[in-house]
Structure 1
Amino acid sequence: MTKPENPASHPIDHLARRGAPDAAALLIGERVMNFAELDAGVGRLAAWLRAQVGKPGERVASWSAKTRLACLMPLAAARAGLVHVPINPLLKGPQAQHILADSGAKLLVTNAARADALGDGPPAGCVLYDLKTTEEVIDSQGEALASSLADPDDLAAILYTSGSTGRPKGVMLSHANLWLGAESVATYLKVTPGDRVLGVLPLSFDYGQNQLLSSWYAGAAVAPLDYLTARDVVKAVARHRITTLAGVPPLWVQLVEADWPADAAASLKRLTNSGGALTRSLIDAMRRSFAGADIYPMYGLTEAFRSTFLEPALVADHPTSMGRAIPHAEILVCRPDGSVTADEEPGELVHCGPLVAKGYWRDAERTAERFRPAPAASYYGGTAVWSGDTVRRGSGGLLYFVGRDDAMIKTAGNRVSPTEVEEAAVASGLVYEAVAFGVPDARLGAAIVLIVRGKDGRADADGLAVHLRQTLPNFMQPQAIEWRDTLPRNPNGKLDRVAIAAGWAKAVAA
């Protein structure tokens, strides 16, 4: 087969012109910003950014809730020839300091409270600008830059990972990465100009930022939401007549437990999930709560944005599958030597093609570990992301997650995937969430510990233990099962496995 060419792409700021000029683009509170206003606002903010920073290629950071400024910054920085560095608003001062220093940001837009959290201020060479003052630039009658002529390979953004396994790493994304990611998602979700998307995920998270970009690619509207409770999400869906809602499993657990007005639930046409696998019981609960909505399970990694999705028609019969490659992605399952595995044979997921990021910012060593030459079987060739995730390919071409190699538990001579233990626990119907991990054991090498959150606050230890004995082999049985009312999460809303394991170790040592 002939090697395919990379698909055509445009500078990412051109998304501000994708929709009809008078069509809604951004819904902030009671205010509606149409595409003409979006384009003009992006142009004015871009001109202001260029005036403050000067030369192209400099990094500009934003640390904010989901304000207009936060939503326009990804396009405005790109239009000005700069590189946007969004900082998750849930991070603390020291974490923000690390990101500012590591990226070499020349400018930070934030509010007074977050500025105070930086202590002695931002790193040398980084100038602080007040969020309210910068917001005024968007509405001003000042100079506005026209759409950029950036090369698709030019750097457009640096997104920092959550840092659950160490210091956050800055993933470098080009205009092509962002544009093609927006096109891919808008295409397979079948988003139309009449859709309204509720943006509940952090804009510093690739999944969250793409809610803006893919919506605008389709000419649809986005309603960003900073929420405290599931009830806030329910109200926003009802107020904006939301058709598309994206979440991570912990959020879906809260939403299926919430009370939904019939009209609000009925307005939802599609539900998307990433950042962790949906369980059978959670999918069933989502179907009951949102009977008219299609469910799209998805798998992704920041280094290549998104890799796979499962078509809604397949969810009922294959609820544990990751699906197949999204448009513009080539997904291979490989052995350590780079050869492609046989069906049902576990191997490493390798992502090839134009969605692969440009590496880690100023970190050649870690870039070389993850970004390596594509396997010989790849159509695209070039650089691929070797994910570190173990998956298997079923006979029908659907992919299934097995586990992360660095998270596998080596117990009694066996390699156990924490995911398999967790899925078995949730399948009992007694728990909503579960985290399994290994701890040193003189006899086994590692013993399995299982931490769970019970349904409706109930703990049925005997029932769960019986279920696990019936469904898992002896070597996969947890040595300890503990129940929690709540489980800690990282800033992206995922279960914080490091904190959960550390909390258990601390309690045992006390």
Structure 2
Amino acid sequence: MTTTLNRRLGDGILRHAAVRPDHIALTVQGRDLGYAEVADTARRWAALLVEAVGGRPRRVGVFAYRSRVSYLGVAAALFAGAAFVPLNRKFPQSRTRTMMERAELDAVLVDAASLPQLPELLRDLPKRPLVLLPDTLRSDAPDLGDARVLDAADLAAMSPLDGFPEVSPGDPAYLLFTSGSTGTPKGVPVTHGNVRAFLESNQDRYALTPGDRPTQTFEQTFDLSVFDLFMAWENGARVCAMDPLELIAPFKYLERNGITVWFSVPSVAAVLRKRGVLTPGTMPTLRWSLFCGEALPRAAAEAWQAAAPGSVVENLYGPTELTIACTVHRWDPVSSPAACVHENVPIGRPYPGLHPLVVDEDLRPVAAGGTGELCMAGPQTTPGYWRAPDLSAERYFAHEGRTYYRTGDLVRLQNGEFVHLGRNDQQVKVSGHRIELGEIEAVLHRAGAVEAVCLLRPGSRLAAVVSGVTDPGALNDACAAALPAYMVPSAIHIVDAMPVNANGKVDRPALARRLDQESAGG
């Protein structure tokens, strides 16, 4: 039976702070924070946000990384009635600055480790946000020009916020920026109603309790992190934020912290399997093992199931525009292997209340069992791209009274479940991150390439082929300066001219074959 959650994302923190104040809500950087402490701190920060902005802020940036500020800042923004906008100091500063500018932030919370980047990010920003420094004194901060700054002392002096600003189901809960084909990140506003529908479906499925301990393996600029935080906080559980280094050998961490819910990209399982460390019975505390963000290889699912014999293994699928995940397949050691296609686990059945539609290139429904692009409508479908009506019109369309989002993923319905057959555009996933190859190509063009094509190679490696340049080093430097590390090509090949097909377009398959031949010859 579905339990209706409060409308405001984050209200679960307040509810559990009242009934189990000392129960741990968050473990981060070796520190345990109880529900009462999380609620009290976030309410103080929210009170200062509301007072300093002069009312309800609309969008609050959280420029912090796997810290107390990064997680409690999210709660504070929500309590203040704002949408939170996660920012990542490990991204190139030019990318972060673009996100800040496009989001038109009213305020930004910054942790001490991210603070050194802030002066450059604020420089010449058209709208200067209020700056909150929860763990830094103003005297220890760098020169932030004419920005209004409130520091740790100001925040500590505030009384916790009462009388929270009202939010409606259609208000954005968070704004995420994903890779864009024009070279500019595109914003996806996700509403409170979108997230509530997702959480209700998942709680019906997973039934988390205060005794559960989910992992937080994802960076907060990755929307899968929302599952960990709010599935935990809405249900009184304890979310455990792992350091990325702990993913290399997570077994001691899982045992030490009594982890019951694992959630990561499949590549983590694939790497552990390749290293030969997923030995039977090594993860006895897990009761759920969830994977999302890219294809889950059959061999990785089998090895993980053996290593976590007491857990149920599931493969989730979904783009940001459909709120974290929209289909799921439950791994069955007996029947699932035969259902795999291209050695990948099926993406499964849609969540309750969602309406799938498989269409051809003209958006016409395909025959039952036919291959086509997966589109989805329902309460998890986000309202469109942030201030980009033309882009929204390309990806969202109406059909029989419903608004569908076009995923760009090719699927086929097989025995009542969807299997994933690839992409119908030039969007790929690397380590769970969705990437528009055109964004990388745009950077290469700006750096001087006359022609530029980026390809996904075996082993989830990115390779670029360019013409009109003689120095690939300059292109490497340009990519490193403008793109996150996971988007930087591992190799750049220079050609005199690109092969073209009968339509005069660059023949990407021919380029891929050429690279294959070069690899074989080398």
Within-5 A mapping of 1:216-231: 216-231=233-248
Which one of 398, 401, 407 corresponds to residue 387 of structure 1? 407
Residues 243, 269 of structure 1: 8 Å contact kept: yes
Other structure's SS at 1:196 match: coil
Q: How many residues align?
A: 428
Matches of 2:100 and 2:162, distance apart in 1: 26
Q: CA deviation at 1:190?
A: 3.2
Q: CA deviation at 1:398?
A: 0.4
1:11 partnered with 2:14: no
Pair 46,90 (structure 1): closer, same or farther in 2 beyond 3 Å: same
Matches of 1:163 and 1:339, distance apart in 2: 26
Matches of 2:248 and 2:181, distance apart in 1: 28
| Residues 439-468 of structure 1: CA deviation (Å, up to 9, x unaligned) | xxxxxxxx99884349xxxxxxxxxxxxxx
Q: CA deviation at 1:205?
A: 1.3
Consecutive unaligned residues in structure 1, runs of 5 or more:
1-6, 409-417, 423-434, 438-446, 455-487
1:452 partnered with 2:458: yes
Q: Match for residue 36 of structure 1?
A: 36
Pair 89,121 (structure 1): closer, same or farther in 2 beyond 3 Å: closer
Q: Which amino acid aligns with 1:398?
A: E
Q: Which amino acid aligns with 1:161?
A: T
| Residues 203-230 of structure 1: CA deviation (Å, up to 9, x unaligned) | 2211112210112222211011232253
| Residues 130-169 of structure 1: CA deviation (Å, up to 9, x unaligned) | 3514677776662323455311111221111145873211
1:290 partnered with 2:289: no
Which one of 153, 166, 169 corresponds to residue 152 of structure 1? 169
Q: Give TM-score scaled by structure 1 length.
A: 0.74
Consecutive unaligned residues in structure 2, runs of 5 or more:
137-150, 438-452, 461-479, 496-514
Q: Match for residue 266 of structure 2?
A: 249
| Residues 238-288 of structure 1: CA deviation (Å, up to 9, x unaligned) | 221101111112222233337579886111111111111111222222123
Matches of 1:398 and 1:323, distance apart in 2: 5
Matches of 1:397 and 1:135, distance apart in 2: 55
State the identity %: 26
Which one of 195, 207, 210 corresponds to residue 193 of structure 1? 210
Residues 266, 295 of structure 2: 8 Å contact kept: yes
Q: CA deviation at 1:91?
A: 0.8
Matches of 1:118 and 1:312, distance apart in 2: 45
| Cα RMSD, aligned residues only | 3.6
Which one of 347, 351, 355 corresponds to residue 376 of structure 2? 351
Pair 115,8 (structure 1): closer, same or farther in 2 beyond 3 Å: closer
| Residues 84-111 of structure 1: CA deviation (Å, up to 9, x unaligned) | 1111342121111110111111322224
Q: Match for residue 335 of structure 1?
A: 360
Of the structure 1 ranges 272-281 and 315-324, higher mean CA displacement relative to structure 2 is found in 315-324
Q: Match for residue 419 of structure 2?
A: 400
Matches of 1:137 and 1:273, distance apart in 2: 41
Which one of 499, 502, 506 corresponds to residue 489 of structure 2? 499
| Residues 405-464 of structure 1: CA deviation (Å, up to 9, x unaligned) | 1149xxxxxxxxx99xx9xxxxxxxxxxxx9x9xxxxxxxxx99884349xxxxxxxxxx
Residues 64, 87 of structure 1: 8 Å contact kept: yes
Other structure's SS at 2:60 match: strand
Q: Which amino acid aligns with 1:35?
A: Y
Q: Which amino acid aligns with 1:304?
A: L
Within-5 A mapping of 1:110-121: 110-111=110-111, 114-118=114-118, 120-121=120-121
Q: Match for residue 90 of structure 2?
A: 90
Residues 373, 407 of structure 2: 8 Å contact kept: yes
Q: Match for residue 366 of structure 1?
A: 391
Q: CA deviation at 1:312?
A: 3.1
| Residues 23-71 of structure 1: CA deviation (Å, up to 9, x unaligned) | 3322234433333333323322211221232243532101111222211
Of the structure 1 ranges 111-120 and 18-27, higher mean CA displacement relative to structure 2 is found in 111-120
Q: Which amino acid aligns with 1:21?
A: R
Residues 181, 214 of structure 1: 8 Å contact kept: no
Matches of 2:248 and 2:353, distance apart in 1: 37
Which one of 112, 132, 147 corresponds to residue 129 of structure 1? 132
